[in-house]
Amino acid sequence: MGGKPHNSSDLPPFTLSGFPGLETSQHWMFLLFGILYIVSIVGNALILFIIKEVQSLHKPMYYFLSLLSVNDLGVSFSTLPTVLATFCLREIGFDSYMAQMFFIHLFSFMESGVLLVMSFDRYVAICNPLRYATVLTDTCVVRLGIAVVIRGFCMVFPLPFLLKRLSFCKANVLSHPYCLHPDLIRLPCGDITINNIFGQFIVISNFGLDSALILLSYMLILRSVLAIASREERLKTLNTCVSHMCAVLMFFVPMVGVSMAARYGRHAPQYVHTLMSLIYLFVPPMLNPVIYSIKTKEIRQRLCKILLGTRF
């Protein structure tokens, strides 16, 4: 592109950067990411299968876990084409970029929403246990799930249209092996004020609000737990939240790390930014099913029965 403006309709392909500094280890990187994708996809698929098959898991908490697994599968399948393609073909057209960017951000916003409704589930279960069955009915669970999807879609839907109106004149080399809005927004040669304002708005109104509400729910949960007289009962109650707390930390901590690196680590080597963004997108889908399998007795027993033919 090198200085000549292009509209989105006549843009040359974008070049995905791959994994700078690791060019000599391409085969090992391909193998590593292939294994990570297999673990993520198979793990989340098994969670969905087990929840469907085990009648005792047909509860709101596990319906939300199913939604989380579906969302993690969406993240994996959204990034899979370009991450593995960087090992052989590194170019991607503008429309393909828009499609992948839309789905990656959609599933990221949805994951934040799913974690929020899961925290609401834990709040009701611990702070108002007698009302749990009447508050979190099947209808309520369906409505919450639909609300998460609609909110995520409404947040992401304007992004492609805001980008399509811009002219691009800078080098078309992207800094990640997949398509992100902050990556592309560096390339236009026109005024991007609206894009920046809208981007900050959806981040604050989605991730900022969700994280604040999750924190509030756990403050209320902690207050209720501390009111329990028995130490054993307190630990037992908190143990029901461990899996969700791990999922929240695995999602929000890497996201904050990526944001801090982008803002304050501009002089850091490029592979640092690439590695942190990969952790943000790879770690939650891969570890969520592992954590819930370890911490949930019914899922652990059924998984061992499927994989090993034994129970413990």
Distance set, CA 308 to CA 36, 50, 286, 294 (Å): 21, 15, 21, 15
What string of pLDDT tens digits covers the 312 residues of the chain?
455 555 555 566 777 766 666 556 667 777 888 888 899 999 999 999 999 988 889 999 999 999 999 999 999 998 887 777 666 656 777 788 888 889 989 999 999 999 999 999 999 999 999 999 999 999 999 999 999 999 999 999 998 888 888 777 766 777 777 777 777 777 777 778 888 888 889 988 999 999 999 999 999 999 999 888 788 888 888 888 999 999 999 999 888 877 776 666 667 677 677 777 788 888 899 999 999 988 888 888 888 887 776 555
Dihedral of CA 128/60/118/233: which sign?
Answer: positive
Q: Please report the pLDDT score of residue 86 as a whole number.
A: 66
Contact between 208 and 200 (Cβ < 8 Å): no
Q: Please report the pLDDT score of residue 192 as a whole number.
A: 83
CB-facing half-sphere around the CA of 11: CA atoms within 13 A: 28
Contact between 97 and 15 (Cβ < 8 Å): no
Q: What is the rounded distance in angstroms from the CA atom of residue 218 to the CA atom of residue 261?
A: 28
Q: What is the rounded distance in angstroms from the CA atom of residue 97 to the CA atom of residue 184?
A: 9
Contact between 61 and 243 (Cβ < 8 Å): no
Task: Report the Cα–Cα distance between both ends of the chain, in Å, rounded.
Answer: 61
Q: Please report the pLDDT score of residue 297 as a whole number.
A: 83
Contact between 175 and 273 (Cβ < 8 Å): yes
Look at the block and give the residue holding tokens 């028995």. Answer: 230
Q: What is the rounded distance in angstroms from the CA atom of residue 209 to the CA atom of residue 112?
A: 10
Task: Please enumerate in sequence order all residues whose Cβ is within 8 A of that of 73, keeping only pairs 6 or more positions apart, or say none.
Answer: 40, 41, 44, 45, 285
Dihedral of CA 235/237/238/239: which sign?
Answer: positive
Encode pLDDT of 201-236 as tens digits.
Answer: 998 899 999 999 999 999 999 999 988 878 888 888
Helix, coil or strand: residue 179: coil
Look at the block and give the residue holding tokens 């990221």. Answer: 108
What tokens appear for 172 in the block?
Answer: 């078309």
